[in-house]
Structure 1
Amino acid sequence: MDRIISMEVFVSIVELGSLTAASEVLGISRSMATRHIAALEKSLGVRLLYRSTRSLGITNVGRELLPFCQNILKQNDQLYSLAQEQQSQPKGRISLVTSISFGQLYLAQAIEQFMLKYPEIEVDLTLSNQSLDLIKHGIDMAIELSNDLPESLIGKKLADCPSVVCASPQYLAEHGAPLSPEDLLNHNCLIHKRIGHDWLFVPKIRSKSAQPVNVTVTSNYSVNDSCILLNAAINGKGIACLPLPFIANDIQAGTLTVFLKDFEVNLIGIWALYPSRPYQPKQHRLLLDFLQEDLSIKHRAYA
């Protein structure tokens, strides 16, 4: 006897409360269902159901083993579902949320490239600076820049996200480029309120002589939005410290210049956060793999 089918018969009898009902649902005869139960009991060496001419019920041992059988059947279904997915064209819907700045400056462009690669996958993107209850709002995952993750969610790290110190060619032509972190004290720096005035520079090459340097910069302009900060830097208002994925296009276009490249600044993680679940749809895994690779390429290009 097939043990999986025998477990399915056992679970169906308990859930439907009837041997006859279970037989009809499974499309087998009542005698065959009885044989499956007998075979499973013999295999496990315990009595799962008590049976008489008038009644049928689950034993105490059967009640203890029932959740294990249900879990095995669930995993079996997921196994075949996943195998079938691997043979099919990726499609489906993904809903995700991220911060306004990260969405506008990086994620929206990355998703457009992802959808070109997988045209049958639909994406529902929400931009919000408020923490949303993913289950309540029907959102599959959140993409966040953070070093402090909520305990209620499962986190998958997509990349380390270093910020880089940058300025416009116009500003550097007028004021010169800092050659060391301490030189920033002689410049006007543009402040993101989340980061503040303390910029931590960690040497990429670690040694006893190369120690982290914390610089308290001065500024005439502080904002709580990276898009505004980016525009101010492009317009020559000062030196900014911005996450690398946010400004990759501006570096390539020559509207911003990165300096102090031997340091990582205010390192933070990029995380995909989602509710706990034993099985993640294929389209979700494809998106996360795509973002990991895209972020890695951008990091290597400007490291």
Structure 2
Amino acid sequence: MDRLTCIKLFVAAVESGSLASAAKNLDISRSMATRLITALESSLQTRLLHRTTRNLGITNSGQALLPYCRTILEQEQMLYQEALMQQSEMNGKISVMTSISFGQLYLAGAIERFMEEYPNTEIDLRLTDREIDLVKEKVDIVIELNNQLPESLIGKKLGICSSVICATPEYLARYGSPQSVTELQDHNCLVHTKIGNNWNMVDKEKKKNFNIDVSSNFSVNDSSILLNAVLAGRGVACLPLPFVKNFLKDGLLDIILPKYDVNPVGIWGLYASRHFQPRIQRHLLSFLESDLYKS
């Protein structure tokens, strides 16, 4: 007896309400279908279906066992789907969503680098600062900066986004460069409203952290605007390192107190389910993990 075929037949008969219809879908005869159901019932030592010449009904035992039979069939589909994914080429379409500032200042560039390496990939990048319902919006992956993984989603931690304190060389030449954390309080510290005026300072050498209150005459809830304010020489700011690395490299900004990380936060790749996740999506997450490390 092919037990898997018997289970397929049982589930199909329940869903269609007809053993004849289930037999036709599986391309077997009605008599063969009857023998297979009888063999399955004998194997399980329980009656699954009430059968007459005109009617078909499920027994209480059949109703109790039906979810397990469906799970077995789902597992079979997952087995073959995974095997196909392992053999598939690195191509396909991926929809990715993230915040506006993270998308503009880092993720868009990282995706361009990914597509240079895998030119057959199509990526739909969407930027928003509202709360994202991944399933409702039919998005494959959400890249989120958060120190806590949302309970309803599965996530791969791609890295830590540490921020640095920075200002323009011109600002520092005019007002002086702070040599200690307490000297930050003598400067105008432009702030992101999500962080506020209380900065968490992490000593990279001593592995110790503490908080310091800074004063500011400007706060904004967008990192791009905050970056522009710093580049205009309006003060000192705490900004994520991936956002400012090119400005540091070009000499447009200088890091203040480089021995400290500020307000470190996890970078997560979030998705709804591990089941049937295409290989190209898994590879994109691995690419971003590596790219962020290089950053």
User: CA 1:254/1:62 → structure 2, altered by over 3 Å: closer, same or farther?
Assistant: same
Task: Tell me which residue corresponds to 1:214.
Answer: 211
Asked if 1 retains the 8 angstrom alpha-carbon contact of 2:16 and 2:22, the reply is yes
Task: Tell me which residue corresponds to 2:224.
Answer: 227
After TM superposition, list the pairs within 5 Å mapping 1:56-67 onto structure 2.
Answer: 56-67=56-67
The alpha carbon displacement at 1:259 in A equals 3.5
Aligned AA for 1:158?
A: L
Q: Is 1:252 aligned to residue 262 of structure 2?
A: no
Asked if 2 retains the 8 angstrom alpha-carbon contact of 1:250 and 1:256, the reply is yes
Aligned AA for 1:43?
A: S
Task: Tell me which residue corresponds to 1:275.
Answer: 272
C-alpha distance after superposition, 1:179-225 (max 9, x if no partner): 32222122222211221111111222446xxx423221122332222
How many angstroms apart in 2 are the aligned matches of 1:114 and 1:33? 51
Task: Tell me which residue corresponds to 2:285.
Answer: 288
Task: Tell me which residue corresponds to 2:106.
Answer: 106
C-alpha distance after superposition, 1:5-40 (max 9, x if no partner): 221111111111222111111112223323332332
Asked if 1 retains the 8 angstrom alpha-carbon contact of 2:8 and 2:73, the reply is yes
Task: Tell me which residue corresponds to 1:301.
Answer: none
Q: Is 1:97 aligned to residue 94 of structure 2?
A: no
Q: Is 1:178 aligned to residue 175 of structure 2?
A: no
The alpha carbon displacement at 1:266 in A equals 0.8
After TM superposition, list the pairs within 5 Å mapping 1:1-303 onto structure 2.
Answer: 1-148=1-148, 150-206=150-206, 211-276=208-273, 278-298=275-295
Aligned AA for 1:138?
A: K
How many angstroms apart in 2 are the aligned matches of 1:54 and 1:241? 75
How many angstroms apart in 1 are the aligned matches of 2:46 and 2:138? 43
Aligned AA for 2:57?
A: G
Aligned AA for 2:170?
A: Q
User: CA 1:116/1:49 → structure 2, altered by over 3 Å: closer, same or farther?
Assistant: same
The alpha carbon displacement at 1:240 in A equals 1.3
The alpha carbon displacement at 1:143 in A equals 1.8
Asked if 1 retains the 8 angstrom alpha-carbon contact of 2:78 and 2:275, the reply is no
Asked if 2 retains the 8 angstrom alpha-carbon contact of 1:188 and 1:239, the reply is yes
Q: Structure 2 unaligned segments of length 5 or more: list them.
A: none
How many angstroms apart in 2 are the aligned matches of 1:22 and 1:168? 73
Aligned AA for 2:228?
A: N
How many angstroms apart in 2 are the aligned matches of 1:134 and 1:204? 35
Q: Which moved more, 1:277-286 or 1:115-124?
A: 277-286
Asked if 1 retains the 8 angstrom alpha-carbon contact of 2:191 and 2:197, the reply is yes
User: CA 1:206/1:62 → structure 2, altered by over 3 Å: closer, same or farther?
Assistant: farther
The alpha carbon displacement at 1:57 in A equals 2.4
Aligned length: 295
User: CA 1:259/1:42 → structure 2, altered by over 3 Å: closer, same or farther?
Assistant: farther
The alpha carbon displacement at 1:107 in A equals 0.9
- SS of the residue corresponding to residue 145 of structure 2 reads strand
- SS of the residue corresponding to residue 220 of structure 1 reads coil
User: CA 1:206/1:49 → structure 2, altered by over 3 Å: closer, same or farther?
Assistant: farther
The alpha carbon displacement at 1:236 in A equals 2.9
Identity score, percent: 55
Q: Which moved more, 1:261-270 or 1:104-113?
A: 261-270
User: CA 1:264/1:56 → structure 2, altered by over 3 Å: closer, same or farther?
Assistant: same
User: CA 1:68/1:175 → structure 2, altered by over 3 Å: closer, same or farther?
Assistant: same
Aligned AA for 1:126?
A: R
Asked if 2 retains the 8 angstrom alpha-carbon contact of 1:181 and 1:213, the reply is no
How many angstroms apart in 2 are the aligned matches of 1:241 and 1:54? 75
Q: Structure 1 unaligned segments of length 5 or more: list them.
A: 299-303
C-alpha distance after superposition, 1:154-186 (max 9, x if no partner): 443322211111222333333343232222122
Aligned AA for 1:236?
A: G
Q: Which moved more, 1:52-61 or 1:21-30?
A: 52-61
How many angstroms apart in 1 are the aligned matches of 2:164 and 2:211? 14
How many angstroms apart in 2 are the aligned matches of 1:88 and 1:156? 22
**TM-score under structure 1 normalisation?**
0.88
